[in-house]
Amino acid sequence: MGVGALLFNPQGELLIVKTSYKNYWSTPGGAVDKDESPRAACIREVKEEVGVDVGRLRLVSMDYCSKHDEKDESLQMIFDGGVLTETQISGIRLAEGEIDAHQFVSIGRAQELLGPRQSKWLPLCLDAIKNNTFAYLEDLVPVG
């Protein structure tokens, strides 16, 4: 299982991070550890990657990813972390050796910079946030 967080600044821009091991940008997040809930994993990953404590998280999307290439099937969950305060933003500290950079960008720019999977589910997640709904996907295709 994997998790990611959508975190915004007061101007409505999305926080994205550049990891040292991917050639594209992503949202803060990562793998769920054994015996860890997805919500707890998301809180931990955000804290580890950017040094921000997030308490309020709402699940807005879950994508079932079938087995392909060398990757096993998985569940990918996206949480809405809301708007960060100025104090949280000024307190951003990147995980040394893992996160090379961060930036707040417009949604359009985020879609250009995010990896192929994230750029496809981002509009569905934003729609779920806007309409207070939930997006269930199977291999990036909305179901239901």
Domain range list for the chain: 2-142
Domain 2-142: state its class.
alpha beta
The pLDDT tens digits for 28-68 are: 999 999 999 999 999 999 999 999 999 889 999 999 999 87
Residues 6+ apart with CB under 8 A from 140: 63, 117, 120, 121
The pLDDT tens digits for 84-127 are: 999 999 999 999 999 999 999 999 999 999 999 999 999 999 99
pLDDT for residue 73: 93
pLDDT for residue 122: 96
